Amino acid sequence: MSNRNSIAKTLLALLLLISISISSLGASRTISSQTIHIYGYVPERTTLELLEDGNFNFSSNNPSATIDVQQFSNSTTLSVTAI
């Protein structure tokens, strides 16, 4: 009977020791989060390409860029505005 009591006490002490060591390991793994702000500059790009057939390709990453074509009796005026 005393042998069973000593084994039970040993197992109880071992379980207590294991639970304390596991809880301390878990508490040491504190994870923190941080916010990273990345700032960058994308330069504005506006391209006007005149094709051989008289047409043109217009592309821009500037949302305010506009193109205006006005035809007069003997001339055509092309105006590109990118502010």
Q: In this predicted model, what pLDDT tens digit does every residue of 34-68 receive, in sequence order?
A: 888 888 887 888 888 988 998 888 898 888 888 88
Average pLDDT, the chain: 81
Percent of the chain with pLDDT over 70: 87
Range(s) of the domain holding residue 75: 46-81
Residue 63 belongs to some domain of the structure: yes
Residue 62 belongs to some domain of the structure: yes
Closest CA to 46 of 57, 60, 56: 60
Residue 51 belongs to some domain of the structure: yes
Give the pLDDT band (50/70/90) at residue 27.
Answer: low
> Mean pLDDT, to the nearest integer, of 4-31?
74
In 1-83, which residue ranges form alpha helices assigned H by DSSP?
A: 2-28
CA R_g for the chain: 38
* Number of domains making up the chain: 1
Residue 38 belongs to some domain of the structure: no
Residue 34 belongs to some domain of the structure: no
